[in-house]
Amino acid sequence: MTEYLARYDTAAQKAAAQIIASYSTSFSLATKLLAPHIRTDISNLYAMVRIADEIVDGTAHDACCNCTDILNTYEKTILNAPNTRFHTDPIIHAYAITARRCNLNPEHIKAFFNSMRADLKQPGATHAVDLDTYIYGSAEVIGLLCLDIFLSDSTYPSALREELQPGARALGAAFQKINFLRDLAEDTETLGRTYLSRELSEAEKDTLVAEIEADLTVAKKALVKLPDSSRKGVAVALKVFEALTARLNQATVEEIYSRRVRVPAYEKVLIALRA
């Protein structure tokens, strides 16, 4: 590789890291405990996912863009990105490096964009999205893509790799369900989405919290089998999710609706230090 291309690779991946730092303090904190090369690939993947989120979550709409056309074009670009060694967009360039290096499954990318497309159909819709399908595409496949990154430099037997997949999917599903509760007001009032009932009852909230706890239990079983290069970082993410779940469990639906439940910064730091 030439000096010019290596320099551009580094710059593109720094841009991806800036995206993760700007949008998610919890995720950024967790990645600091990943091995450097794993951290880079996770940042490259997250930056691509974050931009897709921006297309469907209001940013593109605020810019008076046709969100459906932009999302469809972005999906095609991302699916084709690994086939080209240079991209003028640094985030796409960084993602392509990781997609090639970690052999990311394009079917998982397609499932992700299908869920993003469902978000675009939400405002004014007469029915809610199919939650199982949506959660699979929006969150579970992200867990599977992360697993591909975690195992990219290891010689894990295929049987063990398959054994870890339920845990990866469960951790992604737990995070998505947590966000359904945390973002209840924004989703229903601002974005017009109906992942959960607009009149969520305390019993329904308790049922969802129990599902999250069950998902986290499945994820814990897989955690201990991850490589050293990723185990601590995933442990931090899991512990933060547990802390969020506990706070959601204690809060009433009215409290959840009135404010976004968060884990204080000092508690996140303690979780990271323990890991």
**99-105, long-range: CB < 8 A, 24+ apart:** 101/41, 101/152, 102/41, 102/148, 102/149, 102/152, 103/148, 103/152, 104/45, 104/145, 104/148, 104/149, 105/144, 105/145, 105/148
What CA–CA distance (Å, rounded) separates 71 from 54? 10
Instruction: Read off the CATH number of the domain in which 256 is found.
Output: 1.10.600.10
- Report the pLDDT value the prediction gives residue 128, as an integer from 0 to 100: 52
Angle at 94 between CA 90 and CA 100, to 5 degrees: 145
Amino acid 130: pLDDT: 85
Provide the whole-model pTM: 0.92
Query: Total structural domains in the chain?
Result: 1
CA distances from 192 to 113, 141, 176 (A): 19, 25, 17
Question: What is the widest separation between alpha-carbon atoms in the chain?
Answer: 60
* Cβ pair 235, 227 in contact under 8 A: no
pLDDT < 50 regions, the chain? 124-127
pLDDT at 122: 56
Residue 71 is predicted with a pLDDT of 96
Residue 118's domain spans which residues?
3-274
Q: Determine the pLDDT at residue 104.
A: 97
Exposure string of 199-228, with b = 16+ CB inside 10 Å and e = fewer, is ebeeeebeebbeebeebbebbeebbeebee
Do residues 137 and 111 lie in contact, with contact meaning Cβ atoms separated by under 8 Å?
yes
The amino acid present at 194, given as its one-letter code, is: T
Under a CB-based contact definition with an 8 Å cutoff, are residues 120 and 60 in contact? no
Q: Which tokens hold the place of 104? A: 């990311």
Cα 247 from Cα 251, distance rounded (Å): 6
Residue 154 pLDDT: 76
**pLDDT reported for residue 2:** 85
* Amino acid 127: pLDDT: 42
Q: What pLDDT, on the 0 to 100 scale, is given for residue 124?
A: 47
Three-class DSSP category at 93:
helix
